[in-house]
Amino acid sequence: MTRRILVTGGAGFVGSHLVAALLERGDDVTVFDDLSTGHRAAVLPGARLIVGDLADAAALDAALAPGGWHAVFHFAALSLVGDSMRQPMHYLRTNIGNGLALIDACVRHGVPRFVLSSTAALFGSAGAGAIDESAAIDPGSPYGESKAALERALLWADRIHGLRSAALRYFNAAGADPAGRLGEDHRPESHLVPLVIDAALGRRAEMSIFGTDYPTPDGTCVRDYVHVTDLAQAHLCALAQLNHSSVTYNLGNGAGTSVLEVIRAVERVGGRKVPVAIAPRRPGDPAFLVAASGRIRREAGWNPEYGAIDAIVASAWAWREAHPLGYAG
**What is the amino acid identity at position 24?**
E
75 binds ligand NAD (CB under 6 A): yes
Q: Which helix (H) or strand (E) holds 289?
A: strand 288-289
**Which of 105, 97, 240 is CA-nearest to residue 166?**
240
**Catalytic status, residue 214:** no
Q: In the bound complex, what is the minimum distance in angstroms from residue 300's beta carbon to ligand NAD?
A: 19
- Give me the catalytic one of 91, 143, 170, 306: 143
Q: State which of residues 5, 6, 14, 221 lies at the interface with ligand NAD (CB under 6 A).
A: 14
In the chain, what is the straight-line distance between the N-terminal and C-terminal CA atoms, in Å? 37
Residues within window 253-282 making contact with ligand NAD, judged by CB under 6 A: none
Report the distance separating Cα 200 and Cα 316, nearest Å: 13
Q: State which of residues 6, 7, 15, 177 lies at the interface with ligand NAD (CB under 6 A).
A: 15
**Taking every pair of C-alpha atoms in the chain, what is the biggest distance, in angstroms?**
56
Say if residues 117 and 77 touch (Cβ distance below 8 Å). yes
**Which of 45, 178, 162 is CA-nearest to residue 103?**
162
Nearer to ligand NAD, 212 or 326 (CB): 326
Say if residues 68 and 110 touch (Cβ distance below 8 Å). no
Report the distance separating Cα 248 and Cα 133, nearest Å: 7
Q: In the bound complex, what is the minimum distance in angstroms from residue 186's beta carbon to ligand NAD?
A: 6
Q: Is the peptide bond before 188 cis (omega within 30 degrees of 0)?
A: yes
119 binds ligand NAD (CB under 6 A): yes
Q: In the bound complex, what is the minimum distance in angstroms from residue 170's beta carbon to ligand NAD?
A: 4
Query: Tell me, what DSSP letter sits at residue 41?
Result: G
Q: State which of residues 91, 114, 123, 170 lies at the interface with ligand NAD (CB under 6 A).
A: 170
Which of these ranges, 107-115, 167-175, 205-213, 283-291, lies near ligand NAD under the rule CB under 6 A? 167-175
Nearer to ligand NAD, 59 or 107 (CB): 59
Exposed (0-12), middle (13-18) or buried (19+): which is 127, by Cβ within 10 Å?
Answer: exposed
319 binds ligand NAD (CB under 6 A): no
Q: Which x/- pattern over 32-71 shows residues binding ligand NAD (rule: CB under 6 A)? A: -xxxxxx--------------xxx----------------
Residues within window 79-118 making contact with ligand NAD, judged by CB under 6 A: 79, 98, 117
Residues serving a catalytic function are 143
| Residues near ligand NAD, by CB under 6 A | 8-9, 11-15, 33-38, 53-55, 75-77, 79, 98, 117, 119, 170, 172-173, 186
